Amino acid sequence: MQRGQRDAEFTEFYAARVRALRRVAYLVVRDWHAAEDVTQRALVKVYRAWPRIQPAGLEAYARRAVVNEALTHATRRSRDVVVEQVPDRPVPPALEAGPIALDAALAALPAQQRAVVALRFVDDLSVAATAEVLGIAEGTVKSHTSKAMVTLRRLVPELSEIQE
Amino acid sequence: MSEHDLSTILREHLTDEPPVGVTSADAIRVGRRQHHARVALAGGAVAAALAVAVAVAPGLIDDSGPGTAQDAASAPPAGVPVPGTLESLAATKVAPYVGALGAPAWDVVDVDGNPVEPADAEAQFFELGYEPAGSALVQLHVAGYAPSEFDQYSFETTCQDNEPDDFSVSCEQETLADGSTVISSVAPYTNVTNTTKKLVTVTQARKHPGKVLWARSFSISTRDGVTAGVSELVRAQSPETAAWLIPVEVLREIATDPDLLDPAAVAHAPFPELTEE
C-alpha cells in the first residue's frame, strides 16, 4: 500500500469516526480533554497498524484501541489520587449527600462498567461485540450492565422514574 | 428505566461535547514519527534519528560512502559499563570474522541527541562503529527508552510496518519467552559514517546500485526499556551479491548478550513529543 493511499484512507476513517470514538472514551475517562488525548493516541496506533488491519476489522480494532487507552488512563488516574483520609467505602463523598447528576453517577461506576455502558448504550454494540472489544466473557458484560443499571438508578432517582 | 432509556439519556448527556481539537494530520505525523524512531532503534543511528528527524525522502542518495572514523580521542574511558561491554563484544565476537577492527568511533548522546559523556546519567544512546579491514563497517548500539513505552518501541510489528514502506528486503521478527522482541533484517542505507546511517527505500537503493551500503542487522527490544543491535554494512550492487562476513547467529549472540541489556546502564527518558516529521 502506498503512503498516499494509506493517508487518504486513514483521513477518511478518522473524519467519520473520531467524534464517536471520543464519546466512548469520554464516558470512561469523564473528561473531554483526556478523552481527546486518549482517542488521538489510539488513532495513532490505528494509523501505524493500518496496512495490517483488514477493512472488515477496522472498526473493531479502533474501538478496542480507544477503550484500552481509556481504561489504562482511568486506571492510572485512580492510582494517582492522593487523599488525606481513606474513605470507608469506595464512593465519592458527594454521592452520600443525595441525588446527583448523571455525570457524577457515572463516575461512581468502576471503569470497566463505564466501558461496557459506553459500548453498549452509546456505541450500540451487542453483548457479544462488547465482550469481544473488552476481551471478557459475554456473561461478564451482562453482569456489568446489570450492576451499572442498578447503581445508576440508585444514585440518580430520576432515572428510576422512567418506566418501560 | 430500560436499556433504551439509558441509551437516550446518555446520548442527550453527550450533546454538549466540545469540538474536536486534533486532526488526522496530527495523528499521521505522530504515527510516522514513532515509526521512524522505532526503525532507527532497530537499526541503530538513534542519535541521528533524534537530533534530526529521520528523513526518508527521494533525492537523499549521495555518493559520500563511509565517513571517516570520528575522533578516536573522544572515545569514552574503558571500564564504563556500556562502552566496555560493547568493545569487548566487538573484540571477541566480531573480530574473528572481519579481522582487525581498527579504531573505535563512539557517539553517546542523551534523549535530545546532545553529546554526553558515557558515564553521565543522561547517556541514553550508545553507538560504536568500526571500519575493519575485511568488511566495510560494523556498528553496534545500545539505547534506552521509557519501559512504559514498550508498545511504541517494541519490534513486534516493525517488519510488518516496514513492508509497505519498502525499507527492507528481508525482515524477520520473533518474540522471546521474556517478552523481548527481536528482528533480523537486510536493509539499504546511505550517508553512512562509522556511527550513523540513513535508511532509504529498497526501490531507491536499487535505482542507485553501488551508492548504498547493504546492512544485515539483528536487534532486540526488551521489556526493561533497552534496545540493542549490531549491523554489518557492505558495499554491493544488490543485497543478493552482498558478501557479509559475520553470521546472523553471531549477530544474534551479540545483540542478545545479557551484559549488553542491563537497564541500569542506560538512561530511560521518554522520547520528546515531536510534532514535526
Provide the pLDDT for residue B256. Answer: 95
On whether residue B6 sits in a domain, the answer given is no
Distance, in Å, from the CA atom of B147 to the CA atom of B165, rounded to the nearest integer, reads 26
| pLDDT bucket at B148, cuts 50 / 70 / 90 | confident
CATH architecture of A89-164: Orthogonal Bundle (1.10)
Distance, in Å, from the CA atom of B266 to the CA atom of B246, rounded to the nearest integer, reads 27
Provide the pLDDT for residue B31. Answer: 85
Q: Among partner residues B7, B20, B31, which is closest to A47 by beta-carbon distance?
A: B31
Q: State the average pLDDT over residues B83-111.
A: 92
pLDDT tens per residue, range B238-275? 999 999 999 999 999 999 999 999 999 999 988 765 44
Q: Among partner residues A45, A122, A163, which is closest to B11 by beta-carbon distance?
A: A122
Q: State the average pLDDT over residues A44-53.
A: 86
On whether residue B57 sits in a domain, the answer given is yes
Residue with cell 526493561: B224
Enumerate the CATH 1.10.10.10 domain ranges in chain A, comma separated: 89-164
Contact B20 A18 (CB under 8 A): yes
> Which position has the higher pLDDT, A90 or B144?
B144
Residues of chain A found within 8 Å of residue B9, distances taken between Cβ atoms: 102, 159, 162
> Which position has the higher pLDDT, A81 or B148?
B148
On whether residue B105 sits in a domain, the answer given is yes
| pLDDT bucket at B37, cuts 50 / 70 / 90 | confident
pLDDT tens per residue, range B159-212? 877 776 778 889 999 999 999 999 999 988 887 776 677 778 888 888 888 788
Q: Among partner residues A32, A120, A121, which is closest to B18 by beta-carbon distance?
A: A32
* Chain A residue with minimum CA distance to B273: A41
Q: State the average pLDDT over residues A51-70.
A: 90
Q: Which CATH number fits domain A1-82: 1.10.3710, 1.10.3470, 1.10.10, 1.10.1740?
A: 1.10.1740
Q: Looking at A5-9, A97-101, B260-264, which range is the least confident one?
A: A97-101
- Of the residues A10, A14, A66, the best mutation for testing chain B's interface (the one with the most B CB atoms within 10 Å of its CB) is A14
Contact B3 A121 (CB under 8 A): yes
On whether residue B4 sits in a domain, the answer given is no
Q: State the average pLDDT over residues A131-143.
A: 93
Enumerate the CATH 1.10.1740 domain ranges in chain A, comma separated: 1-82
Q: What is the ipTM of this complex?
A: 0.81
Residue with cell 493517508: A7
Contact A103 B13 (CB under 8 A): yes
Distance, in Å, from the CA atom of B236 to the CA atom of B136, rounded to the nearest integer, reads 10
Query: Residue A88: pLDDT above 70?
Result: no
For every residue of A33-80, DSSP letters joined together read: HHHHHHHHHHHHHHHHHGGGS-GGGHHHHHHHHHHHHHHHHHHHHHHH
Contact A48 B10 (CB under 8 A): no
User: For chain A, what percent of residues have pLDDT higher than 90?
Assistant: 56
Provide the pLDDT for residue A75. Answer: 81
The count of structural domains within chain B is 1
Residues of chain B found within 8 Å of residue A126, distances taken between Cβ atoms: none
On whether residue B185 sits in a domain, the answer given is yes
* Backbone φ and ψ of B173, nearest 5°: -115, 150
**Helices and strands (H, E) in chain B, number of each type:** 9, 8
Q: Could you tell me the residue range of the domain that residue B173 belongs to? A: 11-265
Residue with cell 532503534: B41
CB contacts < 8 A (A, B): 98
Calculate the average pLDDT of chain A.
Answer: 83
- Of the residues A6, A31, A48, the best mutation for testing chain B's interface (the one with the most B CB atoms within 10 Å of its CB) is A48
Residues of chain A found within 8 Å of residue B30, distances taken between Cβ atoms: 40, 44
* Chain B residue with minimum CA distance to A42: B27
CA distances B266 to B152, B226, B250, B269, Å, are: 18, 8, 23, 10
User: For chain B, what percent of residues have pLDDT higher than 70?
Assistant: 82
Provide the pLDDT for residue B228. Answer: 93
Q: How far is CA B64 from the centre of its chain?
A: 22
Q: How far is B117 from chain A (nearest CA, A)?
A: 34
Residues 9-28 of B with CB under 8 A from A: 9-11, 13-14, 17-18, 20-28
Residues of chain A found within 8 Å of residue B14, distances taken between Cβ atoms: 23, 26-27, 122
